[in-house]
Amino acid sequence: MKVLVTGGAGFIGSHLVDALTEHGHSVVVVDNLSTGRRENVNPKARFYEMSICSYQLREVFEAEKPALVNHQAAQTVVHQSVDDPVFDAEQNILGSLNLILQCLRFRVRKIIYASSGGAVYGEPQYRPVDERHPINPISQYGVSKHTAERYLELYGVEHGLEYVVLRYSNVYGPRQSPNGEAGVVSIFTGQMLRGERPTIFGQGDKTRDYVHVSDVVAANLLAMEKGKNTIYNIGTGVETSDQELFDILAELIGYKNGLHYAPVRRGEVLRICLEYSKARKELGWQPHILLKQGVSKTVTYYKGIYQ
């Protein structure tokens, strides 16, 4: 099958492209390299350096005629969405809409959309959060990610577009940038290995649900053939506090220099974890990588870069 992956030079997207090629699929990557890296792109994939907002995206679809589209490209930094909501909306809403329209125009069989279970629900009314939880985003990022979900729902009803939405919890693993502003596992790891003091925003009790990138890739592969016009949480159901994560990393790395505390940033949820029984029942998916195991593998990867 020919699969077009947006954001295929990025963290999650590049791992997905690797898995797709290993399974014998023909892969096309669209990425503007704003955060992705050209060297991440599997050499077996055909690469187009292009924004999903570009009008030239139609030409890619016309030339490649993908059977399935996997949409990973996005502006993913919560506090950047708060500071620059117009840019966030351009990338996550208008870019997604442009992609959806090409899927309709060229009769793509199915689109898989990477959404954010950590942002669209807002501050949870209960935990773990299931797909029936009210949608109440507290950041512009959460609004933009959910808006694309609603466009998919609309075009599914009105035009018969087949889709699956995967709402990720906090994804971590190799290739996540340790120099960016999203992905606390990679950021803390990079800072510790460089001898810098990490910063926790809050008192250390803010929690997240960490899911390894290999488990996320597995969910995407299953969604190619299973699930129709529905939404799945992709997480572990386990809360881990910022302080707990820092302590795990410090022990693995042998870091002893302490950390900084700063005020919680606007738009950030304080506590969350995702319930995944729907994905388990309908996709046959569940997480397999425990946090300490996954973090250990991630630290080993970054040690190869810094040491």
Catalytic residues: 141
Q: Using CA atoms, how far apart are residues 253 and 257, in angstroms rounded to an integer?
A: 11
SS (H, E, C) the chain: CEEEEECCCCHHHHHHHHHHHHCCCEEEEEECCCCCCHHHCCCCCEEEECCCCCCCHHHHHHHHCCCEEEECCCCCCHHHHHHCHHHHHHHHHHHHHHHHHHHHHCCCCEEEEEEECCCCCCCCCCCCECCCCCCCCCCHHHHHHHHHHHHHHHHHHHHCCCEEEEEECEEECCCCCCCCCCCHHHHHHHHHHCCCCCEEECCCCCEECEEEHHHHHHHHHHHCCCCCCEEEEECCCCCEEHHHHHHHHHHHHCCCCCCEEECCCCCCCCCCCECCHHHHHHCCCCCCCCHHHHHHHHHHHHHHHHC
Gap between the Cα atoms of 171 and 12, Å rounded: 8
CA-to-CA distance for 231 and 283, rounded, in angstroms? Answer: 11
Cα angle 238, 242, 245; round to 5: 70
The answer to whether 29 and 8 have CB atoms below 8 angstroms apart is yes
CA separation, residue 113 to residues 63, 93, 280 (Å):
22, 12, 18
